[in-house]
Structure 1
Amino acid sequence: MALLALLAVPLSLLLHYVIHAPAPWVFGLSAVALGILADWTRRATEQLAERAGPAVGGLISISLGSVAEIILALFVLLDGQAEVVRAQLTGSIMGTTLLGLGLAILAGGLGRDKQVFDRERVGLLSTLLMLATVALLLPATFDLTARSVVHNNHVGLSDEQLSLGVSAILLALYGGNLIYTLVTHRDVFASSDERGQPTWSLGKTIAVLVAATAMVAWEAEIVSDALTEAASALNFSPTFLGVVVLALVGTGGDLLAAVTFARQDKMSLVLNIAIGSAIQIALVVAPLLVLVSWLMGHPMTLVFSNPLQLFAIAGTAFIVRAVAADGETTWFEGLLLVGVYALLALGFFFVEG
């Protein structure tokens, strides 16, 4: 089935380069192909990480786990659509924690009274997500203060400078988190039943990773080129497509993995995937995009100008914190999370549309 799904890749190229199909068709099929390739990239990364052991494997997962999302965001940035990239970041945080975690809890809870997870590990992750949320809210708050509160423009720091500083601090904090969980407190956070053994040869792993990453870059360029025209044809805003479509393209593999593990009653792993992915977006992907965008000559700040995006990020963090508090989940909690995601997505559709 996974190999059959790869047919979306040549079909998308055929639509774009040979048939010259309308932009919505090209955008839609290329987005599907990109999501499938992102899942193959994630699989190869996991195989490589399992060979390297817990500490090095964790670093590999962090380094390569979001490569598809980063590549897609960079192509959108090259088109000068920084606001769409910020929407993609917002949607990724929402998608992994509200939709992905919600679907996993719903699927895992059906037929069970409740499921339990490691409160210590998940508690640390939820705390880290709260911290990341505060950091992401800071540039927007600073921008609002500079524009409406501070008189005579006596502000010693620009939005761009603040975003660069925040990005550096976020990356440093994530580095500290890696040292804490993978080195100094490895025994506390290790779980012997949650890691598998590699099933691919090293040659196959590297070949899949290289090929999938190259195709991700190709498909990402097609998606970014078709984004504006597709949004206009569908009467959607580019921001809405960023929050919903582009975000799910990058995180779809994590969503499927979370649902699979939830059915196996591995809820500690499920929450680690869902919350960990959101943290990786906030503490790694967003800062890296800010830094790389400046090197590319298309600078992006962390100023989320849309209040709904700020509400979505903050609300997501508080909801995750609440879910992690009692160490157990039921299917109804999953339904509530999915419902909140649907409400936020509906809000973005109407506000931006």
Structure 2
Amino acid sequence: MKGKLFYVGLILAFVLSAVAHYTHLNATLQFVISAIAVIFVAGFLGKATESVAHYAGERMGGFLNATFGNAAELIIAIFLVKDGMFEVVKASLTGSIIGNLLLVLGLSIFAGGLKFKEQSFNVKLASHNSSLMILGVIALFIPAIFAGGLTTKETSSMSLIVAILLIAAYLLWLLFSMVTHKDVLSDAAVEHGEALWSKSTSILFLVLATVMVAFSSEWMVGTLEEVTHKFGLSELFVGAFLIAIIGNAAEHSAAVMMAMKNKMGAAVEIAIGSSLQIALFVAPVLVIASFFMGGTPMNIVFTTYELAAIGVAVFITKSITQDGSTNWYEGLLLLVVYIILGVVFFLV
């Protein structure tokens, strides 16, 4: 009965959110209805991810969740790049990276830690994740430092080369972690219990849930400009925090659910894996795509504020996850750093 009520609520909330959006109801009302829909859809996505993980393993389940979630973000970002809104795109990418590392992972570790005294995942995977996060920071810092002494054309060429190298590094990481060293980086077997659905149904529902998240999040984001204007919030804060919280918290809420079931391997893959995918794949793809759209291409040079936020997020995340074990206090530390950055971005 409880399960049936959830699905009734899911369908009802999603339909009402669509109606509110397409009939152009009051922005504040749209925002509230969309927020309720996002909560229901996030729960559906969590169930789908857990069911897929039952068949494919925690890492693959987490990877699919991160990939489907970022796919929707990539599509939206491509349209923004086409319109030349490069700064908005970079702010949202920054928000996604720090949101996943600090908010999603922080909540996962904190929630899981309240239920289990200590949780662990593959320590070798933790080490490789740390190295990849540092690579992402280096790849963003170096162009920003040297861009001042380069011409626009040279900056574009540098951005294109760095983007190609990052994509190659990410694809080879997938080959390394999912194929050649799959056994070394896998977690110890965890009791999954019964799957909610069959394998094919689980994958279908994961795709469906991701599409629903993309729509409901986009409808909610569409009301933000008018709603936040009433409170005098800056574009940087809205782009890097509010939009990121809505998009990432909805897409990757499954990480929290996984952590609370002592499946920290999947939670880490969703949170850190998604951030790595944004930094090493999504951002470079947007840079390369901009070269085929005509006009001035997007470079990979981020602002000092954005670089500082990403660098701090990577530093604290590496420090906490490098030993392959977590507790609730470490999750709290990540959340504190996220709040500090939020306060600063709010006041800038």
The answer to whether the superposition gives a TM-score over 0.5 is yes
Q: For the residues of structure 2 that align with 1:113 and 1:53, how far apart are their CA atoms?
A: 24
* 1:37-56 paired onto structure 2 within 5 Å: 37=41, 40=44
* CA distances 1:214-267 after superposition (whole Å, capped 9, x unpaired): 556655664565554444344222321221222123322464322223233333
Alpha-carbon distance between aligned partners in 1 of 2:100 and 2:182, rounded to the nearest angstrom = 25
Q: Is the 8 A contact 1:168 1:287 kept in 2?
A: yes
- Determine whether 1:309 maps to 2:306: yes
- Once the two structures are superposed, residues 2-55 of structure 1 have per-residue CA deviations (whole angstroms, 9 ceiling, x without a partner) of 53244333223322332x234454456446646765775676577667667899
Question: Equivalents in 2 of 1:234, 1:262: separation in Å?
Answer: 35
Q: Which residue is equivalent to 2:20?
A: 15
Cα deviation, residue 338, structure 1 = 0.6
Query: Is residue 182 of structure 2 the alignment partner of residue 186 of structure 1?
Result: yes
Unaligned runs of 5+ in 1: 147-152
Single out whichever of 21-30 and 331-340 deviates more from structure 2.
Answer: 21-30
2:97 aligned residue: 93
State the match for 1:318 in structure 2.
315
TM-score, normalised via structure 1 length: 0.80
Superposition deviation, residue 156 in structure 1? 6.6
- Which residue matches 1:341? 338
The match for 1:239 is: 236
Partner of 1:263: 260
CA contact (8 A) 2:122 2:265 kept: yes
Sort the Cα spacing of 1:54 and 1:95 in 2 relative to 1 into closer, same or farther, 3 A.
closer
Match of 1:286 among 262, 270, 283: 283
The alpha-carbon distance between structure 1 residues 350 and 51, as it changes in their structure 2 partners (threshold 3 A), is same
Kindly tell me: are residues 78 and 21 of structure 1, through their superposed partners in 2, closer, same or farther at Cα, counting changes over 3 Å? farther
- Asked if 1:165 is matched to 2:161, the reply is yes
Quick one: distance in 1 between partners of 2:195 and 2:238? 36
Inter-partner Cα distance in structure 2 for 1:216 and 1:107: 22
> Residue 157 of structure 1: SS of its match in structure 2?
helix
Instruction: Kindly provide the CA deviation profile for residues 308-350 of structure 1, in whole angstroms up to 9, marking residues without a partner as x.
Output: 2111101111111111233332322221111110010111111
Once residues 259 and 50 of structure 2 are traced to their aligned partners in structure 1, the CA distance between those partners, rounded to angstroms, is 18
Q: Which amino acid aligns with 1:16?
A: H
Structure 2 regions of 5+ residues with no counterpart?
none
2-side partners of 1:82 and 1:32: how far apart?
A: 30
2:269 alignment counterpart: 272
Task: Give the count of matched residue pairs.
Answer: 341
The secondary structure found in structure 2 opposite 1:110 is helix
1:133 alignment partner in structure 2: 137
State the alpha-carbon separation in 1 of the partners of residues 19 and 144 from structure 2.
42
How is 1:190-209 mapped onto 2 (pairs within 5 angstroms)? 190-191=186-187, 193-194=189-190, 199-201=196-198, 204-205=201-202, 208=205
Residues 71, 216 of structure 1: 8 Å contact kept: no
- In 2, the alpha carbon distance for the partners of 1:156 and 1:76 equals 22
- Please report how far the alpha carbon of residue 118 of structure 1 lies from its aligned counterpart in structure 2 after TM superposition: 2.4
